[in-house]
Amino acid sequence: MKSVGLVVGAGVAGIQAAIRLADQGFTVYLVEKNPSVGGRVAQLSKTYPELDCASHTWTPRMIEVSKHPNIKLLTYSEVKDVRRQGDIFKVKILKKPRFVDENKCTGCGVCAQHCPVEIANDFDERIGVRNAIYVPFPNAVPQAYTIDREHCLKCGLCQNVCMSKAVDFQQRPETIEVEAGAIIVASGFNPFDPRKHDEYNFSRYDNVVTGLTLERLLSLSGPTGGHVLRLSDGKIPKRIAFIQCVSPGNPKSGKIYCSEVCCMYATKQAELLKELIPDADINIYYAEPLVNDERFEEYYKKARTEYGIKYSKARLTEVVEKPTHNLLIRTVSESGKPIEHEADMVVLSTGLVPSASDFVDALRLKLDDGGFFEAVDSDSNSIQTSTEGVFVAGAAEGPKDIAKSVKQADAAALKASAYLRKLGEAKTTPIRRS
Amino acid sequence: MIGGLSEKKKLAKKTDAAIEAFKTERLRWVLGISQVGPKVDEQKYKAVSSKIMKDEIDRQMIIGEIKEKGPRTIKELSEATKLNTKEVLRHIIALRKIGTISEAGEKDGGYLYKASE
C-alpha cells in the first residue's frame, strides 16, 4: 500500500499527475466524480495562447488514463472518507450506479436514440440537450452511458434495444475501500455563478451569458456546432461586450481575488469571435488592471492591433435589456463621465471558485481565504498541503490556467513519488515508454 | 375571406405536422406507453408526455416549413410557426443534435437551417 497513490479529480491536473505517478511504477487510483474524465477542459473550444483545439490536445491523455496498466480509473465515483492509519490513508470511495454496465457498454448510443426523455445538458451549460441515458459529450472517457435516474421514466426502451445487455436497473451504490500512501488532490474549480450577485441580470436576460456558455457556443462539437448566436432569438451577435472580473468577493478581506485566467480567456474568445464574425465590434470592459503576465503581453497586443479588439477601462454601473433584447451597458469612465453602449450580447468573464469536496474535513486540510487548498511548502512549489502525504495540484490550489496546472501536476507527482519511496519498500515496476 | 383561407391553411399545416409527429418513434412510444406496463413511473410519465407531444408537433411544423420553402432562419421559422424565437432555437438545437437539420449559410443576420439529406 506504500506504493499506491490516490489522485482525486480527473481534469487536466489529475490526469497529468496520475500519468506521471503511474509511469514511475506506482499504482494510482484516479477518482472522478463525473461520468467522464476531462474536467473543465473538455468543455473548452480552443485553448490560449496557441488556439489549440482542446479536444485534440486532451482526448489522447483522457484515453491514456483509461488504458494505463498502473492506473485504476474510478469514474462517477466520489471520495467520501479518508482516515489515516500510521503511514497509510484508508479511503472510502462511493461508486455511484450508472445503471449501465461499464464493461459491457460499447458506447454505440442506440439507447439514447430511443430514450424519449430530453433535458438540458449541464455539460453544454444547459444550451444543448441530452437524454435520460447519456454520455455528457461525444469524446467522453470511458465511452459508457449513464442513466440519470432523476429524469428516467423507467420505460425500459433502452434496455430493450441494447445489444450488449448493458442496461442494469438493479445497480446499487458501491463503497470501495482502498489504501494509499500518498494523495494528490486535483479537485479543480467551478466557474463563479453570476446569479450569486446578479448585478448584471444574468438570470433575467438571455443574451447575458457566461464565458463558459460562450465556450460551448464556440465549440465545434457544442450544441450549435460552433455557430455563435443569441439565445433570445438566434441572431448572430455583431456587437459583443465582455465584462471582466465577475468574481466572488473574498470572504475575509472583502476584496476580490484575481482568477488569473479571465483576461486571457476573454481575449482568446474575442479573437475566435472575430474570426467567426469578421465585422464584429468587440469591447472588453475591465475595472481592475489586466493580468500582467509576460507570457501574454504579445497576445494582448495582437488582439488590439491585428484583431481590432477594444479594451475599455471603466467602472460598470448596470446592464439593462431593451425590448429588442439588445443590452445597454452603462459605465463610468476614468474621468467620471457616464457612458452608455449598446451590445447584442454580453459575456460575463466569470472567475474561478473552489469545487466543493466532501473529504476536506477528513483530511484536515487548511484552506486559504478564497477557499482553495492552502499549500505550505518551504520551497517555491505550492503543492504540499497542511497534511503530510497529501499534495495539491491545479486549480484546487488556486486559480490558474492549463499550462500552470500541468506544471504543478508534474511537480506534485514528483513530490508524491519521492514521498512514497521514502515510506519505503516501494516495489515498483517502471513502465517502458517509447 | 382571405383571412379565413389563410387560417384554414395554417390549420392544415398544423394537422400535417401532427400527423408527421405521430409517425415519430418518440410519440408512438408516448401513446403506447400505457400498455407497456408496470415498470413506467406514472407520475413522471404524465409530467413529460404532454411536453413530448407538443415538442414533436412543433418540431414537425419546423421541419415541414423548411422542407416546403427551403433553408429558413430562426426568425422566419418563428413567424411561420407562431412559436417564439427562443422556442424555435431550442427545437433547432435538438433537431441538429439528431442530424435532422443543419446550417446552410446566413441570411439577414441569422443562420439558415436546411433539412439534412
Determine the pLDDT at residue A228.
Answer: 98
A258 and A299, same domain (yes or no): yes
A299 and A392, same domain (yes or no): no
Residue A230 has pLDDT above 90, yes or no: yes
> Quick check: A75 and A65 in contact, CB under 8 A?
no
A211 and A342, same domain (yes or no): yes
Residue B107 has pLDDT above 80, yes or no: yes
Four-point Cα dihedral A156, A161, A162, A164, nearest 10: 130
Residue A254 has pLDDT above 90, yes or no: no
Q: Which residue has the higher pLDDT, B19 or B101?
A: B101
**Domain spans of chain B?**
2-115
Determine the pLDDT at residue A58.
Answer: 96
Residue A142 falls inside a structural domain = no
Determine the pLDDT at residue A180.
Answer: 97
Q: Grid coordinates representing A181? A: 500512501
Round to whole Å and give the CA distance between A70 and A198.
46
Residue A112 has pLDDT above 70, yes or no: yes
Side-by-side strand order, sheet with A88-95? A77-85, A88-95, A174-180
Task: Give yes or no for A238 touching B (CB within 8 A).
Answer: yes
Q: How would you classify the pairing of strands A71-74 and A52-53?
A: unpaired
Round to whole Å and give the CA distance between A261 and A299.
13
Round to whole Å and give the CA distance between B77 and B107.
13
A181 and A217, same domain (yes or no): no
A342 and A361, same domain (yes or no): no
A285 and A366, same domain (yes or no): no
CA distances from A15 to A34, A187, A333, A382 (A): 14, 11, 44, 18
| Interface contact flag, A113 B98, Cβ < 8 Å | yes
Q: Which residue of A has its CA nearest to B29?
A: A116
Determine the pLDDT at residue A80.
Answer: 93
Task: Give yes or no for A119 touching B (CB within 8 A).
Answer: no
State the CB neighbour count (10 A cutoff) for residue A187. Answer: 29
Task: Give yes or no for A204 touching B (CB within 8 A).
Answer: no
Paired strand residues for A73: A30
Per-residue pLDDT, averaged over A174-186, amounts to 97
Which chain A residues have a beta carbon less than 8 Å from that of B102? 225
A344 and A374, same domain (yes or no): no
Which chain A residues have a beta carbon less than 8 Å from that of B45? 153, 155
Which chain A residues have a beta carbon less than 8 Å from that of B48? 116-117, 153
| Interface contact flag, A233 B74, Cβ < 8 Å | yes
Q: Which residue has the higher pLDDT, B66 or A361?
A: B66
A338 and A366, same domain (yes or no): no
A207 and A346, same domain (yes or no): yes
> Quick check: A13 and A37 in contact, CB under 8 A?
no
CATH number at residue A68: 3.50.50.60
Residue-wise pLDDT for A114-136, tens only, equals 999 999 999 999 999 999 999 99
Residue-wise pLDDT for A285-310, tens only, equals 998 888 878 878 888 899 999 999 99
Q: Which residue has the higher pLDDT, A198 or A420?
A: A420
Round to whole Å and give the CA distance between A269 and A209.
13
Determine the pLDDT at residue A101.
Answer: 97
A347 and A370, same domain (yes or no): no
Per-residue pLDDT, averaged over A82-89, amounts to 92
Q: Looking at the partner chain, which of A151, A156, A227 has a beta carbon nearest the beta carbon of B103?
A: A227
Residue A155 falls inside a structural domain = no
Residue A208 sits in which domain range?
193-351
Round to whole Å and give the CA distance between B54 and B114.
22
The pTM of this model reads 0.93
Tell me the CATH architecture of domain B2-115.
Orthogonal Bundle (1.10)
A373 and A345, same domain (yes or no): no
CA distances from A126 to A136, A318, A344, B93 (A): 11, 25, 20, 11
Task: Give yes or no for B68 touching A (CB within 8 A).
Answer: no
Residue-wise pLDDT for A19-64, tens only, equals 999 999 999 999 999 999 999 999 999 999 889 999 999 999 999 9
Residue A238 has pLDDT above 80, yes or no: yes
Per-residue pLDDT, averaged over A193-199, amounts to 86
Per-residue pLDDT, averaged over B41-58, amounts to 87
Round to whole Å and give the CA distance between A210 and A244.
11
3-state secondary structure of B92: helix
Q: Looking at the partner chain, which of B26, B89, B110 has a beta carbon nearest the beta carbon of A236?
A: B110
In the structure, how many helices (H) and strands (E) does chain B have? Answer: 5, 3
Q: Which residue of A has its CA nearest to B33?
A: A155
pLDDT > 70: percent of chain A: 96
Best-predicted range by mean pLDDT among A412-426, B21-35, B97-111? B97-111
Task: Give yes or no for A149 touching B (CB within 8 A).
Answer: no
Which chain A residues have a beta carbon less than 8 Å from that of B44? 151, 153
Determine the pLDDT at residue A319.
Answer: 94
Grid look-up 461499464 returns A102
Confidence of residue A276 (pLDDT cuts 50, 70, 90): very high
- Count structural domains, chain A: 2
A217 and A319, same domain (yes or no): yes
Round to whole Å and give the CA distance between A291 and A302.
16
Confidence of residue B1 (pLDDT cuts 50, 70, 90): very low
pLDDT > 90: percent of chain A: 77
Task: Give yes or no for A275 touching B (CB within 8 A).
Answer: no
Residue-wise pLDDT for A333-363, tens only, equals 888 889 999 999 999 999 999 997 777 777 8
The 3-state secondary structure of chain A reads: CCCEEEEECCCHHHHHHHHHHHHCCCEEEEECCCCCCCHHHHHCCEECCCCEEHHHHHHHHHHHHHHCCCEEEECCEEEEEEEEECCEEEEEEEECCCCECCCCCCCCCHHHHHCCCCEECHHHCCCCEECCEECCCCCCCCCCCEECCCCCCCCCHHHHHCCCCCECCCCCCEEEEEEECEEEECCCEEECCHHHHCCCCCCCCCCEEEHHHHHHHHCCCCCCCCCCCCCCCCECCCEEEEEEEECCECCCCCCECCCCCHHHHHHHHHHHHHHHCCCCEEEEEECCCCCCCHHHHHHHHHHHHCCCCEEEECEEEEEEECCCCCEEEEEECCCCCEEEEEECEEEEEECEEECCCCCHHHHCCCECCCCCECCCCCCCCCCECCCCCEEECHHHCCCCCHHHHHHHHHHHHHHHHHHHHHHCCCCCCCCCCC
Which chain B residues have a beta carbon less than 8 Å from that of A152? 41
Phi and psi at B59, nearest 5°, equal: -65, -35
